A and B are shown apart, each in its own frame.
Chain A
């Protein structure tokens, strides 16, 4: 049960060793750097400006990410669902150095990949345009001249479209200025559809005027595409270039596909770049003079000496390790052993403890697992959860947060098995329903069946809630007491305990027959209340203030009351799981024992319980967190600390061995 005790560390090193020292710190991953602030405007002290380098790393990193996405598009990698549980791939020093040397080349390749991808997109767009163009020219294919053709020295050509369907006779008729005059012209219908027809007319120049007039009347329009060459030639040309484009696209695509082996290198580059960006960001925190640099930060007390020793051995520098001052704000890290360790991120996602807080994880862990199990409350589901998490832990060996989560849910699963067997719920009432297939086994509840006696479960929930709140106050008592505020501990917490004890006696008097227990209870509760009334206004300077403060604090009883009521969610969620599980089994067994009945049962059973498990596990998780955050933490936990986040090698894909350098 502890927060890690932090020491302040100051390293003064030669500027020439600068990068190398920071690198060593990054590799060790234990120093949380403090940003240097030149508040006193001391002359001669400066900081590194590495923002440009950082920007470059980030830009490169984006490109690498994009090229990975491109690789995934052209040469997708087969991934199983379980991949996300796997740990990072370890990489040897030698491999690291080889790859690091090639880093520039890899990034260059990433850009290259992007260019090829762009080229492919361009070609695709081109190809599409060409195909469309060729298609729209298709109807003009039989025209033997270019659609731009205007005629020869002595003739005029009209090439264009008319609305609607036309044949040659109709057109000739329409060209006549009056019914008896023919216009001598070569007339051709190039195509004729219901919406539109394409026509070609060649007449002597002398008739140009007449023709134009006649055509205007019937809605003649220029063709949409004006070409220099006969359409059939052009179509051929487009087809040819389209074929070429297609070949080019294929060639480029297979080029990318052949580079699928780059994925490994790109992932490495991603890690490498993020490492360097982290380092350069750290460099910005460091104060420098002309010859030296000053690194300040916090380090866990136990690692301070070994690090100082190592630094002194390797470099010429001065390391000072001191206790943090009162006004310092050292970062907070937890150090717990297993059951509590898995819950650290639940606490830290609420708030890190402040300097005065104790580490709440160990106390919380007991209630956390207990409540989760009570809310999920089905032994079958518990077995599944514990088994799944256990197998992943064993075979996939996840690391970091994933490992913690798996451990957490495995323990939650075990607690669920515990409660489920107390309540006799195994996949709802599945075991009873197995009777359908011949053998009648029933696992009766080891304690009681909550559906038959929900009040008992409700009272159990309130009792557990009451216990957690009293324990929460106990932690507060401990905090006040160990900080020297012993009177405060007795006044603020002790008197409440007295009040609670009285109330419990009154409540218990209806269940056990101890003579005049209720009277004693009332006396005890009133004594506690009187104590609160007298002491809670003590910080107020005036007498009326003291009285009001005392009265106000008694009002706090409603707060405790509603906090305890809040634990009825334990009962509600616990009931829901079992009932829905049973309903799933009932629906499943509706088909009877026949040839349709059994497959129906299997399908309904699997789907129904999968949904029930996922929804109720989510509910249990969320409400379990809430009970800790709102009901439990509010009793003693202040929060507001800063999470310990040392400069370290923060990679996603590869795990680097210690000795690696990243200049």
Chain B
């Protein structure tokens, strides 16, 4: 019974990682794209510069996805079958939380910065790199969340 609980909890962890991080990214990319669309109507040539800003909040979903895949890999849903103890299951579930929640919130926060960045690009396209760098300041915390989740997921089979 406990063994099955383990694998279910681990799957729940994979679900959270992919789901929440992707929700954040979807929201974020959506927000920036809406703002960019308004600029592109006026001046289609700015599309390429805006595309970078639009994609920035998209990476969190990617991190969540990677962690989810690593969990599925670790518990044998992908790759070779494994026994997952209850403790390990809880471990996977908890390990998914940094990238799930950190990814979600940082994607939205980053999108807010990027939306203001869109107005920078619309007014002075030459300054677009400053807008991009500002948005990546937020991205760093998504990266930290990802690294911690990743390191935990990689090593949970040792417990």
Question: Contact residues of A with B, CB < 8 Å?
Answer: 346, 349-350, 454-455, 458, 566, 568-569, 571-573, 575-576, 579-580, 583, 586, 615, 618-619, 622-623, 625-626, 629-630
Contacts and interface: CB of A to CB of B under 8 A. Distances in A.
A191 B90 CA distance: 79
B147 to A, nearest CB: 5
Contacts of A626: 133, 136-137
A630 B62 contact: no
A572 B55 contact: no
A568 B144 CA distance: 8
B87 interface: no
B70 interface: yes
Contacts of B140: 566, 569
Interface of B: 52, 55-56, 58-59, 62-63, 65-66, 69-70, 78, 126, 129-130, 132-133, 136-137, 139-140, 143-144, 146-147, 150-151, 154
Given A576-B66, A619-B59, A622-B56, A568 B136 contact: no
Given A454-B151, A569-B143, A615 B129 contact: no
B58 A615 contact: yes
B137 to A, nearest CB: 8
Contact of A622 (B66, B78, B136): B136
Given A579-B66, A586-B78, A615-B59, A572 B133 contact: no
Contact of B55 (A571, A576, A580, A618): A618
Nearest to B53: A622
B147 A571 contact: yes
Contacts of A455: 151
Given A568-B143, A618-B55, A619-B59, A575 B133 contact: no
Given A572-B146, A622-B133, 8 more contacts: A454-B151, A454-B154, A576-B63, A579-B69, A580-B65, A583-B66, A586-B78, A630-B133
Contact of B147 (A458, A619, A625): A458
A454 B150 contact: yes
A615 B132 contact: no
A26 B4 CA distance: 78
Q: Is the interface of B mostly helix, strand, loop or mixed?
A: helix
Given A454-B150, A625-B129, A580 B62 contact: yes
A208 to B, nearest CB: 60
Given A350-B129, A583-B69, A615-B62, A622 B52 contact: yes
A615 B55 contact: yes
Nearest to B127: A349
Contact of A568 (B63, B132, B147): B147
Nearest to A461: B147
Given A454-B154, A618-B52, A618-B55, A625 B62 contact: no
A41 B83 CA distance: 89
A216 B124 CA distance: 67
B76 to A, nearest CB: 14
Given A569-B143, A615-B55, A349 B78 contact: no
A45 B68 CA distance: 74
A592 to B, nearest CB: 16
A622 B70 CA distance: 25
